[in-house]
Amino acid sequence: MSQKKTQYISPNKKALQRLLRNKPAVVGMIVLFLAVLIAIFAYPISPDSTPNANDQVLEIATEPLGFSKDMILVRKNQDVPSCGVMNMLLCGQENSYKMIPVNSVEVVGDKLAYKLYTGKGNTPQPDTISLLNIVHPLSTDAPQISGNQIAFTDIDGKQQTTTIDALTETVMQKHIVKKKYWLGTDKFGRDNLSRLILGVRISLSVGLVAVLISLLIGVTLGALSGYFRNDGLVVSPLSILAVILGLIIFTFIIKFLAPLVPSFGMADEGNCNCTMWFFKMMGNLVINIIAFIFFLSLLFGIVGGINWVLMRAAGGVIKRKVAIPVDDMVMWVINVFWAIPLLLMVFALVLSLGRQFWQIFLAVGLTMWVELARIVRGQFLSLREMEYVEAAQSLGYGHFRTVVRHILPNAVGPIVVITAANFATAIIIEAGLSFLGIGVQPPMPSWGTMLKEYYGYIGTSKAFLALIPGIAILILVLAFNLIGNGLRDALDVKTRT
């Protein structure tokens, strides 16, 4: 009688199966996937694809959900270049037309008479505008009208002719459009839906960069503290002196070399240079990474050189070793950061680093590593006593290989869970900073900034202005929390289902 073979399933596959059976976690992943797609294609899918969705029509300020109005599209008397697809994807496209909201229009000769919409309940203001000015970008020279014929000079200095009948047909077919604002407008007459969509990009960007920074600091310090403890790192007093002298020398060297490293800067979104800025930023990022590796190697080289000179000078006289209390030192730093209120620390970092886009990322990331470091430390304190770690040490493997190849992979589960929670925390912190006015600066759309501008409308008929970004923050943060809970259950080895 043949025995039925049991198919082997790897622990990672079991964890994935448990995660996919967790319906709330799956919902969270779907929301996150949609948010990432929206962030990538924010400008193409936004009703207002201008940079920062900043196309202002002051006459339609704070209009309700589903508001729609006829608009006259008037060609701006300036050259608005048509940017490429990449530039459109990154920074949007400047609008070639100015929008005028109207209640009614009528062609009178070579002009278009209209009643300007000035808000619900207000009396429409009658006005007129030249048909030629609606269709063509004009120079300062006055057009010449002869019967039905019009001769004019465009913005490029070219002489052109047209007819009033042709202008009338073009205006009525292409320049009178009905525009709908699904989520209403803000106090500057900007489309709320477009700014809400672009806010996804800000929130996810801040969360991603902040989590990467917190991972770099938290995992490094937590691993050092848990692996070496207070007696695992034994060095010569001369090595300690070499480190101190090396840091002093390195500080003076870095003072002269640091200005040579390029900064990221921001794109001038009014022109078609966003693609160039993006690739320049990527190049600067590579240069900064290379510079970081170079400076780190320089520091190690200086310390190693000084240590060699001191050892040779001492001639082996000093043989006593000193155990560095790595755990106590790291825990002291963690406790100091833990004692400072989170927002107060972020305020201090933002005010010292600046309020630009990248400084906000850095400030948020520098405040989120503490809890991660404590968890990684606890994991390393437990895992370093396992048999496979003792086997690695008995085979003569170095500290770096033992930590990276043998201990860290077994501590990934808790790190992934806390990372998902930190992503949600970073979004809340960024929204809080923007709400308090020290986060992302206008006109860049941020959910926190939208809350700040309109929280006073809560309790009125225009409460939707504050509720919409608040609900968006709630949904995105809840998605990350659901994913974090799902990962926690999936990676729990005690889970049997």
Per residue in 277-329, pLDDT tens?
667 767 776 777 777 777 778 777 887 787 777 777 766 555 667 778 888 98
* CA atoms of 138 and 156, how far apart (whole Å): 8
Cα distance from N-terminal residue to C-terminal residue, the chain: 30
* CA atoms of 429 and 426, how far apart (whole Å): 5
Q: Are strands 125-130 and 176-181 parallel, antiparallel or unpaired?
A: unpaired
* 459 token code pair: 């309790």
* 344 token code pair: 């107060």
CATH ID of 10-40+191-233+325-497, from 3.40.50.300, 3.40.50.720, 1.10.3720.10, 3.30.530.20: 1.10.3720.10
What is residue 393's predicted lDDT score, i.e. its pLDDT? 84
Q: Give this prediction's pTM.
A: 0.83
What is residue 319's predicted lDDT score, i.e. its pLDDT? 60
What is residue 479's predicted lDDT score, i.e. its pLDDT? 94
Which residues lie closer than 8 Å to 345 by C-beta, 6 or more apart?
A: 337, 367
What region, left, alpha or beta, does residue 170 occupy, with left being phi > 0 and alpha being psi -120 to 50 degrees?
alpha
What is residue 265's predicted lDDT score, i.e. its pLDDT? 54
Neighbour-count burial for 80-91, b at 16+ CB within 10 Å, e otherwise = eeebeeebbbbb
Which of the residues in the chain have pLDDT under 50? 1-2, 269-270, 496-497
Going from N- to C-terminal start, the domains of the chain cover 10-40+191-233+325-497, 66-187, 234-323
- H or E segment and range at residue 282: helix 274-314
Which one, of 458, 363, 470, 374, lies nearest residue 415 by Cα?
A: 374
Per DSSP, 130 falls in state: E
* CA atoms of 186 and 439, how far apart (whole Å): 19
